[in-house]
Structure 1
């Protein structure tokens, strides 16, 4: 059975570029919004989980790959879309969660992880073994990186289901979750780096008798010049990446995968696709939009009850984040006022890690209960959620997220 993602490089190399949105989130509202849009458009939904988020030991979500699949399947059943139209992907699959261990121990765990992803029917696998483990340099040389990636591909092949997986190689990506400092410019991946990455992976796969797997490498992660920080976004400039686009035409059935495309304009996203950066990853922007909607609905509930907004949801999340600072304290800095602002409004949206906590879940449930049997007046939507038309709680959240997804959907269509 031909993998549906193989049509993406085929489209670029035939002169009719086509893209796909890679939804990187474990939030149920985000996934429901993505699956609902896929049902509406008839295009496949690509849902990805990272190695830290989901792995055979549970990751920070507490879900194994099999658990995550079941989680998505439940939402798909609710939406009424077949899982045949849903592609599951694993991102940055490699030793990163265990890089504090000696290399062989970390790779053994990485093998167990990718075996679990493959066996659970994840068929888009990004192989990333670029990080050094205990006693190694922070960034490994290309040959070691490729050799370890081929080793993981062999494990994935041995555990695959009825559909052959496709692979993404390369690791020139922005900092996960956005940059830490104010941004001014960004170095674009060089064509020499692309050439070497492709060559060393091709050799490494052949040395480990994985030529068949290499034939299913459909993408390479590069830096096209997109990124976001706490308050600013580096916008895509096609001319800066034109050399990559020209070079891509010489690589058989390969496209580029762009990470951290969040907060780009539709025009910039469309230009990325036209340039061969066909797989567009988005995550924080989706939960940023969700947080905006939740804070807006909190204000609306107060006004509907007859008083000025008290920001109770924001206060509840602030308490939760202060009690559990691990997910933001290493990434935010500055004065107390700066930290407060970043906790709630940074584009990196590290507040997304807190929505599953018991305190945050209870606060959201309490907010939702205030809308039971009530319709939101249009003037309040205009005031607090100007891009949303839905007049009920659940629908408003879904629409807020889908407004972002529709930007991507339009941008990834063949022009």
Structure 2
């Protein structure tokens, strides 16, 4: 199902709720799977990059927004995915990567980042200036947040006008999950209060109007709120629609908006479908997609260990363990417990912080070795039943590692697609 993002609220008001999957990942296999899936279903492919991951200074991926857009464009051409299906979004665009600096310095960097995103063709812009900078509270009040969001919107508007291209659509507000994901077993999380959602909209509407940005605010399509879903290292809190009756009333009173749901990873088909029906048609997913990618890679690592005499005993797993132990900065603050507990969390946590390591040379070499070991091999059915039962369809034929990985990621994407109303 293809549609413009600004149609989501109208479709909901007409009693025809439809959704879109927001793929938040920079992994080429995940992106390729999303583009192939969009091509095959003629459906909107919304791909988003976050402020820490991609920015004008490179982010942790080393990519600028122009680099990221070029990567998506190249993969789309290779997969035959039409450009008109692709929407690029920027997530949590604001001063967050520089919040250890004074506010003015951090906001100047944020302005440069937003301009770079819009210049590179990103047209869904999540304005998030909610986190405090040096000397400020960790979470800012609505008034300060709105003024900073308006400042960033003015930059986005000016950049789009210079480009002579389509003007951006905006998402405002934020839910603030635990940094890096929860590091303990979750028991409950409360949905955003309706009064808080109304206040966020009201304050932003007024501040944007005062800044001469009424037209820009008219293109605000979404509000980020907490629907009561979250995942941490150990478990998942699934959606309970009985808790959001008051929130749904906000959308009845504010027909311009839909809700954007972050952290929908691992929810499963029924909760995702309920989210779309209840006014959360923008479903963001990231760690789940790289989690299942890792799951498939490790399954194939086991198969190669059993099938190929000189491959060794799980060398991909061993390489990733050595890499993570050598570079603790992406996981040490988030994985706690005994040495044994930290070991399994490094590889299997639902927060999937192993995703930060796949671009490292050591990881890429290990994946290449796995690919070469299995290339063209005919894997016996019993080995798939032992290590990857759901992939048994690939048995008995020359194996292509990338095709197996894309298949596994697509299984998750298909669940989202169906929930969004695309199972036609």
TM-score class, shorter: over 0.9
Secondary structure (helix, strand or coil) at the match of 1:370 reads helix
Bigger drift between 114-123 and 298-307 goes to 298-307
Q: 1:47–1:87: 8 Å Cα contact kept in structure 2? A: yes
Moved >4 Å (runs of 4+): 306-309
Secondary structure (helix, strand or coil) at the match of 2:143 reads helix
What is the CA-CA distance between 1:311 and the residue it aligns to?
Answer: 1.8
The answer to whether the aligner puts 1:402 opposite 2:405 as a matched pair is: no
Partner of 1:247: 250
Which of the residues 174, 179, 184 maps onto 2:182? 179
Q: 1:189–1:223: 8 Å Cα contact kept in structure 2? A: yes
Partner of 2:42: 42
Normalising by structure 2, report the TM-score.
Answer: 0.95
What is the CA-CA distance between 1:414 and the residue it aligns to?
Answer: 6.8
Structure-1 separation of matches of 2:20 and 2:5? 9
Over the residues paired in the alignment, what is the CA RMSD in angstroms?
A: 1.6
What is the CA-CA distance between 1:180 and the residue it aligns to?
Answer: 1.7
Q: Can you give the 5+ residue segments of structure 1 that lack an aligned partner in the other structure?
A: none
Secondary structure (helix, strand or coil) at the match of 2:48 reads strand
Secondary structure (helix, strand or coil) at the match of 2:374 reads coil
Q: 1:3–1:165: 8 Å Cα contact kept in structure 2? A: no
Partner of 2:204: 201
Which of the residues 260, 275, 280 maps onto 1:257? 260
Q: Can you give the 5+ residue segments of structure 2 that lack an aligned partner in the other structure?
A: none
Structure-1 separation of matches of 2:422 and 2:275? 12
What is the CA-CA distance between 1:15 and the residue it aligns to?
Answer: 1.3
Q: 1:17–1:414: 8 Å Cα contact kept in structure 2? A: no
What is the CA-CA distance between 1:83 and the residue it aligns to?
Answer: 2.0
Q: 2:304–2:311: 8 Å Cα contact kept in structure 1? A: no
What is the CA-CA distance between 1:383 and the residue it aligns to?
Answer: 2.0
Structure-2 separation of matches of 1:100 and 1:123? 28
Structure-1 separation of matches of 2:308 and 2:232? 37
Q: 2:174–2:225: 8 Å Cα contact kept in structure 1? A: yes
In the TM superposition, 1:360-371 aligns within 5 A as: 360-371=363-374
Q: 2:50–2:91: 8 Å Cα contact kept in structure 1? A: yes
What is the CA-CA distance between 1:279 and the residue it aligns to?
Answer: 0.4
Partner of 2:301: 298
Partner of 1:358: 361
Structure-2 separation of matches of 1:266 and 1:4? 24
The answer to whether the aligner puts 1:412 opposite 2:423 as a matched pair is: no
Partner of 1:375: 378
In the TM superposition, 1:331-346 aligns within 5 A as: 331-346=334-349
Which of the residues 315, 319, 322 maps onto 1:319? 322
Partner of 2:95: 95
Q: 1:256–1:278: 8 Å Cα contact kept in structure 2? A: yes
The answer to whether the aligner puts 1:219 opposite 2:213 as a matched pair is: no
